Structure 1
Amino acid sequence: MPKQTFFNLPEEKKATLIRAARKEFSRVPLNDALIANIVKEAGVSRGSFYQYFEDKDDLYFYLLDKNTEDRWAVFVSELKKHDGDLFAAMTGMFYSTLSLINEKDTRDFYSNMFLNMNYKIEKTFKHTVKLEEFNKQMSNVLPLIQIEDLHAANNEELFHMLQITMTIMIQALMLKFAQELSDEEVAKHFELQLKLVKRGFIK
């Protein structure tokens, strides 16, 4: 998490830093990104950067956290739109995310993220949390999900259902960049896997 000094900055200066960071992380993956480029683009000193963030990883994962919050809001919106249908909501979030990563200003950022995915990045993007935290965070969302339509005996099973469906979405989006698939091919891959999970493997 950024230091409090970052949050105390004027909104315009925070936005400038974020734009500079996104530009650098769009240019190269996290491991190759340079703080020197970020501070130069943002017009701040290197010393100031370390007053705001521990290191470039701290800044990068802050950006991913903000992205995850936005994606979660989309998921909640899709749940409401589809009357609690988990699979319809996940499909809606998939297409929303697919549209987002196709935008000119975000495509390179997501390309670098998906092509250099590791456990920490995937965990952040999936918003993976412990079951105890999940129960707290889901307190406002659980009433939206039509749980009676799912074979979920409890919140733990629902937790894993969400993780599985989210993994299917992430893998499909990774394939888009790794194999340079078209949106149609990626959507077909995602929808087939989601359909198989929804139907179940056992006759």
Structure 2
Amino acid sequence: MPKQTFYNLSEEKKNLIDKVLKDEFSSKPFKDCNVKNIVDRLSIARGSFYQYFDDLKDSYFYILDKETKDVHFLFMSVLRQNNNDVLKALDVFGDEVCDLIFEDGEYNLYKFRYLYWNSELEDGWKAKKKEYYAIFHNDKSSIDHELIYFMKAIVHGLIERNFKEEWSRDVFIEKYNLHINWLKRGVENENI
């Protein structure tokens, strides 16, 4: 996350940096982004960038944290709002996650994250977001964490397909409901 030097900047300068970073990370996968594009657009020296962020990944995580919401936190919130009833939470979660990923200004941030996230980014994200992972893994409620991982795999797969296949919001909801109904009823009696 940004260094104190960044936070000491004027609001106008911070907002400009935010805009340029968001534009950079919304226009292409992280692997194709670079500090040169950012400093050129900001008309600052490369060294100034490193006064604000440790590296490119640090600035990427900052923008993801600022501009997007974590779908895992969202699900846990929906689950708690539904008294830890997983089936009720799943019914609500489809629309909630859809609202998130189809939001105009953040669509491409989610898209590039889901299509091009790799183990290096995952490890860096986990290191930056230790609190989240500690909260999730130390949850002492009656929630079956293996069930959460299973549902996470289904939802992540749908989100990834959504971006690969360029679904509309309606198609995403249709596919989400289909998969969740299979999860609820089981696939034993489905015609394949």
Quickly name the TM-score band, shorter chain normalised.
0.7 to 0.9
- Which one-letter code corresponds to 2:13 in the other structure? K
Identity %, equivalent residues: 32
Calculate the aligned-residue CA RMSD, in Å.
Answer: 3.5
- The count of aligned residue pairs is 186
In the alignment, the residues of structure 2 paired with residue 159 and residue 97 of structure 1 have an alpha-carbon distance, to the nearest angstrom, of 20
Identify if the C-alpha distance between structure 1 residues 120 and 95 changes in structure 2 by more than 3 Å, giving closer, same or farther. farther
Q: Which among 154, 173, 176 is matched to residue 190 of structure 1?
A: 176
Which residues in structure 2 correspond to 1:70-81 (within 5 Å)? 71=71, 74-81=74-81
Cα–Cα, structure 1 residues 201 and 8, in superposed 2: closer, same or farther, change >3 Å? farther
**Contact 1:71/1:93 (<8 A) preserved:** no
Measured in 1, the distance between the counterparts of 2:136 and 2:81 equals 22
Q: Corresponding residue for 2:63?
A: 63
Match of 1:54 in 2: 54
Residue 169 of structure 1 deviates from its aligned partner by 1.5
Could you say which residue in structure 2 is the equivalent of 1:111?
A: 111
TM-score (norm. length: structure 2): 0.73
- Report how far residue 194 of structure 1 moved: 2.7
**Deviation, structure 1 residue 11:** 4.4
1:164 to 150, 153, 157: 150
2:59 counterpart of 1:86: no
Aligned AA (2:103): E
Distance 2:156 2:122 in 1: 8
**In 2 relative to 1, CA 117–70 (structure 1 residues): closer, same or farther, beyond 3 Å?**
closer
Letter in 2 for 1:30: F
Within 2, Cα distance between the matches of 1:67 and 1:167? 23
Alignment of 1:1-203 (within 5 A): 1-66=1-66, 71=71, 74-121=74-121, 124=125, 134-136=136-138, 138=139, 142=141, 147=142, 158-200=144-186
Distance 2:43 2:108 in 1: 23
Deviations 1:20-65 (A, max 9, x none): 1110111111111122222343454321111121221121123334
- Secondary structure of 1:105 counterpart: helix
Structure-2 separation of matches of 1:80 and 1:95? 16
Q: Is the 8 A contact 2:102 2:169 kept in 1?
A: no
Residues 1:103 and 1:202: Cα distance change in structure 2 (over 3 Å): closer
